[in-house]
Amino acid sequence: MTANEQPYDRLREVKQFDDSKIGVKGLVDSGLTTIPRFFQHPPNIRSGFLPSSRSKSSYQIPIIDLSNHRTKIIDQIKSASSSLGFFQIINHNVPKQTLNHAISSVKAFNELPTDEKSQYYHRNLGRGASFSTNFDLYQSQAASWRDTLQIRLGPTPPNPGALPEDLELAIVEWDREIKKLGEELMGLISEGLGLEKERLKDMSCLEARTVVGHYYPYCPQPDLTIGISSHTDPGVLTVLQQNEVGGLQVKFDDDWVDIEPVSGALVINIGDLLQIMSNDELKSVEHRVLANPNHNPRLSIAVFFNPSKREELLGPLPELVSAEKPPVYREFMMTDFLKRFFSKELDGKSLTDYYKI
């Protein structure tokens, strides 16, 4: 370091960026060609970030047709959920117009002029909706190259004015359809576990819903950072819609497998809570999104389904515990679970590991 150079102060640079309220999209629009240091991941972590270094695994993520016979669908979902933890669904009856409207509305919001968009930039989740770069920006060792809308849709909606009206209408319409789909999927999963069809619904697993809209703009140095780091989803079930720009990968053994976008399909994955409640019969699996090397943005919208009953004990379901299959996890309250998730950075399977007996 020369006499004129200042020592690197990560917190200062992160706060300066966060206070600017321009997001990653704003950095790209400024014409930068070198990404800020706090977005750069350690060399040992970023060795597999470039698309050219992706796994050449021939494994394919299952695509399940919901118009098939119910018994076949139940078997296919159980098989996918107990091995890879991910699958795609087609013929799900969510109108294409609803899907297109939601994606285009999230895209339009992220591409608003900075002075319009910045008024929504904050980290106060109490308002029911927030827009920011990385919810774990201050906890993570290195930031990820994306901006995110986070919207609470159940059990109570966001505060009035928390979102632009046209965006809120599109998301509410999307959520209404996805909630119906979530109920269908939870019924199929419950039956696959040998439970009553309404078991997860009766536990309020459809009621606490959070929607996130991720915007991954072009990254000038995709070998140095990532779109979203490797993690598992904390909730019961995730339903995700992605546009045509790829980058989503799921970990299978030691390989990273691409989840290629399929027109009209939705991506489904098991969350940590469902792995715990199923007593490890179903698996929540690590996944990530590579930084976007394309000039077209990658967009995704995901809903996380969680129980709304926060003060009741959760753990392996009694029907899935026996002398031959003792409980793998201890019981806990949802409030403790969520507090633990939001107090740390996204990192692997630390939640399920923490609650193991």
Q: Look up residue 178 and give its two tokens.
A: 């996805």
Mean pLDDT of 240-256: 93
Strand ranges, E, within 86-166? 86-90, 129-132, 147-152
By mean pLDDT, which of 243-257, 262-276, 302-316, 337-351 is the weakest?
337-351
Q: What integer pLDDT is reported at residue 52 of this predicted model?
A: 46
Of the candidates 128, 122, 121, 119, the one whose C-alpha atom is nearest the C-alpha of residue 159 is: 128
- Per-residue model confidence as pLDDT tens digits over 317-331: 999 999 999 999 999
Domains of the chain: 10-355 (2.60.120.330)
123 versus 157: the higher-pLDDT residue is 123
44 versus 243: the higher-pLDDT residue is 243
- Per-residue model confidence as pLDDT tens digits over 174-222: 999 999 999 999 999 999 999 999 999 999 999 999 999 999 999 999 9
Q: What integer pLDDT is reported at residue 6 of this predicted model?
A: 65
Q: What integer pLDDT is reported at residue 88 of this predicted model?
A: 98
Q: Look up residue 23 and give its two tokens.
A: 């997001």
Q: What integer pLDDT is reported at residue 303 of this predicted model?
A: 97
Mean pLDDT of 308-322: 92
Do the Cβ atoms of 74 and 68 come closer than 8 Å? no
Is the pLDDT assigned to residue 233 strictly greater than 70? yes
In percent, the amount of the chain with pLDDT more than 90 equals: 78
- Strand pairing partners for 121? 131
Angle at 15 between CA 9 and CA 20, to 5 degrees: 130
3-class SS letters over 208-221: EEEEEEEEECCCCC
Q: Is 160 left (phi over 0), alpha (psi -120 to 50) or beta?
A: beta
- Per-residue model confidence as pLDDT tens digits over 8-26: 899 999 999 999 999 999 9
Is the pLDDT assigned to residue 335 strictly greater than 70? yes
Q: What integer pLDDT is reported at residue 1 of this predicted model?
A: 46
Is the pLDDT assigned to residue 46 strictly greater than 80? no
Please spell the DSSP secondary structure of 148-182, one letter per residue: EEEEE-SSSPPPTTSS-HHHHHHHHHHHHHHHHHH
The pTM for the full model equals 0.93
- What is the C-alpha to C-alpha distance for residues 250 and 270, in angstroms, rounded to an integer? 12
- Mean pLDDT (the chain) is 92
